[in-house]
Amino acid sequence: MGDTMHSCAEISSREAFAVLRGLEDVCILIHRSPDGDCIGGGYALWHILRGLGIRSRVVCADPLPAMYDDVTAGIAFEDFAPKYWISVDVADRKLFGDLPEREKNAVITLCIDHHISNTHYAERLFWNPHSAAACEVLFRMMQENDIPLTKEIALCLYMGIATDTGCFQFSNADAAAFEAVAEIKSAFPDLPYSRLNRELFVLKSQGRIALDARLMQNVRLSADGHVALIYLPYAWMQEFVLSSEETDSIANLPMQIIGVEVGITCKQQQNGSFRVSLRGGERADVAKIAQHFGGGGHIKASGCSFHDGDPEDVCKMLMDVSEEMLGQWL
Ligand SMILES: [Mn+2]
C-alpha cells in the first residue's frame, strides 16, 4: 500500500478532464485544517462533476470553518459508497489528517494541486507548481476543456485564489492569478466578492480581538527589531474561549510591525507541545530556520514543532537561532 508501490503520472488538463468524465461516485478529499483554497477547490469540483451528472461529495478530516459558509452553505451531499477518490490542494497523503481507514488507504485516482512539495502519491497528478492556488489550476482546466463557469463555481474559485494569496498581498499573487480573477469577475461582476473579502480577511470575534491585544502587548523584539516573537500559552485560548481555527492567522501578527524580517509565533498545545509558525519579510528565508528545528515549508512561510519543553527555553532557542541566521540575509 505504500506510496512507492506505484508510479504517478503527471497529466495535462485535457487528460485530467478525460479522467474526471469517466468517474462515478467520487469522494473529493481535501486537507486537514481546511483553508479557502482546498474548500473552494473541493466545492468547485463538486459543482463541475454535478454538471457532468457525476455524484460526489467533499470529505475533510476537520470541520469546515464558518467563515467559508458563502461557498459551503446549502449544499447537502448524497450518501453513497465511493468508487473513486480525488484530492484537491493536498501535497501529501499525511495531510488528509485523521480520516477513516477506507479513505486513508484509498488509491487516489487524480490529485489536483499547486504545491511544489507534492509527493506524487496519487495515480495521476494534474498540477501547476507555479500557480498561486489549486483553484487557479482548476480554473485553467475548466477553460482548456470549455467547462462552463457558473456563478457558484466562480465564487468557489475566487475564494481559493483570494485566500492563498492573502487577499492578493503575497508574492504568489502574480499576473496569472490576477488574470484568472479578472476573468472570473468579468464573467460574474455581481457576486459578493467584497463581502467575502471582509469575512475572510477583516472580521474577527471579540475573543480574538482581545487575544490580539494581549499578544501585541507581550510581543518580544530582538536584533534591533528585526526579529519578533509572539508566544501564545494554551491557557489564553481557554481564557478567550477560542477554537484553534480562530487563531490560524495569528502568524501574521508579528509581520505587521515595521522592520520585522523574521516573525515567530509559538503556540502551546493542550498536550504541552508547541507549534511554531515562521514568516519572512523581504529578505529572510524562514524555511532555513524551520529546517534547523526539523520543520519545513516555504521561503516566506514555514513551521516546526517541539514535543515538549519549557516555554521560555523554546522561545529563547527560536529567537537565538533566528538572530544568528539573520546576518546572512540583512
Ligand atoms: Mn492551496
Q: Please identify every residue whose CB atom is under 5 Å from ligand 1, which is an ion.
A: 37, 89, 134, 164
CA of 119 to the centre of ligand 1 (A): 15
CA of 221 to the centre of ligand 1 (A): 31
CA of 316 to the centre of ligand 1 (A): 32
User: Is-contact 158 136, C-beta < 8 A?
Assistant: no
Quick one: 225 and 255 in the same domain? yes
User: Is-contact 177 163, C-beta < 8 A?
Assistant: no
Q: Which residues contact 116 (CB under 8 A, 6 or more apart)?
A: 129
pLDDT at 5 over 60: no
pLDDT at 288 over 60: yes
Three-state SS at 72: helix
CA of 45 to the centre of ligand 1 (A): 14
pLDDT at 2: 44
Considering only residues 174 and 3, tell me which one the structure prediction assigns the higher pLDDT: 174
Residue percentage of the chain with pLDDT more than 70: 98
185-222 per-position pLDDT tens digit:
999 999 999 999 999 999 999 999 999 999 999 999 99
Provide the phi-psi class of 65: left if phi over 0, else alpha when psi is between -120 and 50, else beta. beta
Q: How far apart are CA 303 and CA 291, in angstroms?
A: 8
- Residue 186, all three cell numbers: 468579468
- Half-sphere exposure for 242 (CA within 13 Å, toward CB): 27
pLDDT at 251 over 50: yes
Q: Which residues contact 8 (CB under 8 A, 6 or more apart)?
A: 111, 120, 121, 122, 123, 124, 125
Domain final position from 143, 170, 200: 200
CA of 195 to the centre of ligand 1 (A): 21
pTM surpassing 0.85? Answer: yes
Q: Rounded to whole angstroms, what are the CA distances from 174 to 86, 167, 239, 299?
A: 27, 12, 40, 17
CA of 218 to the centre of ligand 1 (A): 32
Average pLDDT over residues 220-234: 97
pLDDT at 105 over 90: no
Quick one: 64 and 183 in the same domain? yes
Quick one: 162 and 181 in the same domain? yes
pLDDT at 77: 97
Quick one: 181 and 322 in the same domain? no
Quick one: 184 and 62 in the same domain? yes
Considering only residues 173 and 244, tell me which one the structure prediction assigns the higher pLDDT: 173
Domain that holds residue 281: 206-326
Residue 126 belongs to what H/E stretch? strand 124-127
Average pLDDT over residues 61-86: 95
Quick one: 129 and 21 in the same domain? yes
Quick one: 222 and 75 in the same domain? no
Quick one: 189 and 221 in the same domain? no
pLDDT at 3: 45
CA of 180 to the centre of ligand 1 (A): 15
Total of domains in the chain: 2
